[in-house]
């Protein structure tokens, strides 16, 4: 029988902190270093915590083991407050507002510790580091707010859940799918499955004789089946170089297009050494600096992406990787991910990890069922339209005795309500009359649009956004259906109005003035 145990409040370095009695692993080194860099001082330990994910793992596997595993976990909450003890916690639980606010302000996240000696890290959500780089912000669209309830109070942390693979119920790719389905993009209508649910779903129709538990590994086909079983559509992308490796531009642009849309990216590939494959889940990236684009050329804004943040079950959450072009141990070159802590990490707190570079070969992404066009095709169409529009504008430039310019484009998927609200507010928020005019035109003059739209955005480097083109995501890639194009500049309209109206309507959709 379980017995009642008190909440414990101890210093992070106190031997009573449950982290300090775990076996030394890469995960422990990374998480400890991450928390130290966040300024952790104290921990609050719930010694009895029933974790939904572990209960599911227990029910599917550990309950039948002769080892007699308990079904209960510990949950550790981390704080950066100058002072924390039981009295402070009691005052917070009594809803003393100032104390509660301070607890929330200094809350860094939580770790569930499973009763599994070799893989103790269960569901873990840690706060992101403050983003100090305003020029190249961190894009963490898949993150969501998690609520932790302790004795009637609620603590909130923004992040996305990570856990360690246990190889009993979940392999690295299972954990990646599990993180993927935690995304903010899926908040509205879907329950988050446990890792046991994912492994069972992977075996439902693609098992081909392999046993379900213990689960050491899954094939890419099984992973996609698991995504389908949970009501989503799996999108797969293969590398474009020999050995199945990716070019830098394709890896960066594809990951960015999904991540901007709130979809984490499961990256399958191999380490730079012989052995089986590995999977990690990209959950964010740092926006690249603008690429140089020569006059008359069009560049892919996200093609220059350099930094990816991933959940790697071999390391931990929010792991920073640099994307580089490297040769593998066979001399074949492709995009590789190299673990690189950020510059602001204190050297003495940097985890010393022996981690070989990782070569991605396949991307798998769970998207909404109704999103049917591929990001690859959106990039191809975006490139083609940017080239044509740029070519047209440059004709007018040259005839007006002006120097021709280059153009940039970027793509993403977005829910239509979010485009109307957030996206248009970002770009037109300081012009309320134009914002209203644009929203009303989209609502009243454009035929009914799909719930998700593909957006191709075109800009001039070092200047501003010229045009958004909204694609129907419910049609086929081949049909290339567009709903509308939003024109942000009067002079662009001068150029576009020179196109025959039926052609303009077919290629760019209904024109909407946003100036």
Within 65-94, the residues that bind another protein by CB under 8 A are none
Q: Does 207 bind another protein (CB under 8 A)?
A: no
Q: What residues have CB less than 8 Å from 479, skipping those under 6 apart?
A: none
- Chain centroid to Cα 239, Å, comes to 20
Residue 240 found at the interface with another protein (CB under 8 A): yes
* C-alpha span between 170 and 156 (Å, rounded): 27
Site for another protein in 298-327 (CB under 8 A): 298, 301
Out of 100, 465, 505, 510, name the contact with another protein by CB under 8 A. Answer: 465
Q: What Å distances lie between residue 212 and 21, 61, 180, 207, CA to CA?
A: 32, 10, 21, 8
| DSSP one-letter string for 68-114 | ---S-EEEEEEE--S---HHHHHHHHTT-HHHHHHHHHTEEEEEEE-
Q: Given the rule CB under 8 A, which of 13-21, 41-49, 78-86, 491-499 is the region that contacts another protein?
A: 491-499
Which of 444, 490, 501, 502 lies at the binding interface for another protein (CB under 8 A)? 490
Near another protein by CB under 8 A: residue from 116, 169, 185, 223: 223
**292 touches another protein (CB under 8 A):** no
Q: Rg of the chain's alpha carbons, rounded to an integer?
A: 25
Residue 82 or 208 having the CB closest to another protein? 208
Q: Taking the complex as a whole, how short is the minimal distance between the CB of residue 85 and another protein, in angstroms?
A: 40
Residue 367 makes contact with another protein by CB under 8 A = no
Candidates 16, 64, 191, 276: give the one binding another protein (CB under 8 A). 276
- Number of other residues whose CB lies within 10 A of the CB of residue 286: 20
Find the binding residues for another protein in span 320-359 (CB under 8 A).
Answer: none
Q: Name the minimum Å distance from CB 469 to another protein.
A: 13
CB of 446 to another protein, least distance (A): 19
Q: Rounded to the nearest whole angstrom, what is the least distance from the CB of residue 488 to another protein in the complex?
A: 4
- DSSP state at residue 118: T
Tokens of 188: 């509205």
Binding of residue 463 to another protein (CB under 8 A): yes
Backbone angles phi, psi at 221, to 5 degrees: -65, -40
Residues 243-272 that bind another protein (CB under 8 A): 244, 247, 249-250, 253, 260, 268, 270
What is the rounded distance in angstroms from the CA atom of residue 104 to the CA atom of residue 99?
9
Complex with another protein: residue 98 or 135, whichever CB lies closer: 135
Kindly indicate which of the ranges 58-66, 92-100, 286-294, 441-449 contains the residues binding another protein, using the contact rule CB under 8 A: 286-294
Residue of the chain from 24, 67, 330, 426 that contacts another protein (CB under 8 A): 426
Tell me the CB-side half-sphere exposure of residue 42, using CA atoms within 13 A: 18
In this structure, the strands spanning 452-459 and 407-415 are: antiparallel
Identified binder of another protein from the candidate list 277, 291, 342, 404, rule CB under 8 A = 277
Give me the least distance between CB of 76 and another protein, in Å please: 29
CA angle 87, 92, 97 (to 5 degrees): 130
Q: Does 236 bind another protein (CB under 8 A)?
A: yes
Among 376, 420, 475, 505, binds another protein (CB under 8 A): 376
The correct pick among 171, 367, 373, 484 for binding another protein (CB under 8 A) is 171
CB of 343 to another protein, least distance (A): 19
Euclidean distance between CA atoms 163 and 411, whole angstroms: 31
Rounded CA-CA distance 482/377 in Å is: 13
Residue 420 within binding range of another protein, rule CB under 8 A: no
User: Do 215 and 203 touch, CB atoms closer than 8 A?
Assistant: no
């Amino acid at each position: 029988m379980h017995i009642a145990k008190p909440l414990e409040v101890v210093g992070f370095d106190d031997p009573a902190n449950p982290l300090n009695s775990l076996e030394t692993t890469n995960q422990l080194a990374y998480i400890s270093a991450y928390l130290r860099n966040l300024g952790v001082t104290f921990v609050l330990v719930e010694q009895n915590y029933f974790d939904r994910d572990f209960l599911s793992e227990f029910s599917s596997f550990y309950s039948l083991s002769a080892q007699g595993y308990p079904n209960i976990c510990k949950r550790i909450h981390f704080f950066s407050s100058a002072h924390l003890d039981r009295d402070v916690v009691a005052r917070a639980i009594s809803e003393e507002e100032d104390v509660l606010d301070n607890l929330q302000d200094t809350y860094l996240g939580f770790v569930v510790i499973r009763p599994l000696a070799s893989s103790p890290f269960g569901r873990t959500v840690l706060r992101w580091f403050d983003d100090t780089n305003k020029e190249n912000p961190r894009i963490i669209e898949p993150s969501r707010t998690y609520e932790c309830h302790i004795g009637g109070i609620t603590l909130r942390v923004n992040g996305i859940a990570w856990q360690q693979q246990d190889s009993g119920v979940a392999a690295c790719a299972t954990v990646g799918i599990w993180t993927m389905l935690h995304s903010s993009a899926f908040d509205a209508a879907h329950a988050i499955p446990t890792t046991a649910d994912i492994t069972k779903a992977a075996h439902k129709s693609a098992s081909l004789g392999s046993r379900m538990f213990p689960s050491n590994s899954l094939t890419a086909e099984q992973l996609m089946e698991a995504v389908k079983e949970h009501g989503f559509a799996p999108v797969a992308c293969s590398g474009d170089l020999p050995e199945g490796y990716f070019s830098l531009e394709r890896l960066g642009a594809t990951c960015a297009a999904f991540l901007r849309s709130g979809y984490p990216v499961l990256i399958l590939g191999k380490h730079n050494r012989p052995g089986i494959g590995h999977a990690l889940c990209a959950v964010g990236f740092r926006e690249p600096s603008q690429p140089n684009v020569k006059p008359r050329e069009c560049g892919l804004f996200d093609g220059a992406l350099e930094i990816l943040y991933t959940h790697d079950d071999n390391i931990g959450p929010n792991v920073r990787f640099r994307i580089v072009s490297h040769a593998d141990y066979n001399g074949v070159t492709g995009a590789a991910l190299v673990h690189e802590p950020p510059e602001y990490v204190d050297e003495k707190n940097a985890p010393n990890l022996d981690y070989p570079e990782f070569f991605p070969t396949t991307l798998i992404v769970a998207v909404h069922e109704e999103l049917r066009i591929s990001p690859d095709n959106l990039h191809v169409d975006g490139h083609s339209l940017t080239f044509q529009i740029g070519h047209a504008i440059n004709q007018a430039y040259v005839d007006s005795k002006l120097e021709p310019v280059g153009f940039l484009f970027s793509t993403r998927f977005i829910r239509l309500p979010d485009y109307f609200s957030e996206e248009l507010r970002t770009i037109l928020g300081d012009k309320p009359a134009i914002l209203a005019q644009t929203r009303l035109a989209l609502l009243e003059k454009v035929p009914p649009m799909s719930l998700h739209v593909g957006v191709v955005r075109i800009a001039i480097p070092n200047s501003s956004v010229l045009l958004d083109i909204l694609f129907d995501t419910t049609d086929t890639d081949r049909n290339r259906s567009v709903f509308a194009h939003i024109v942000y500049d009067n002079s662009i309209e001068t150029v576009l109005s020179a196109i025959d109206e039926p052609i303009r309507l077919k290629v760019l959709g209904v024109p909407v003035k946003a100036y």
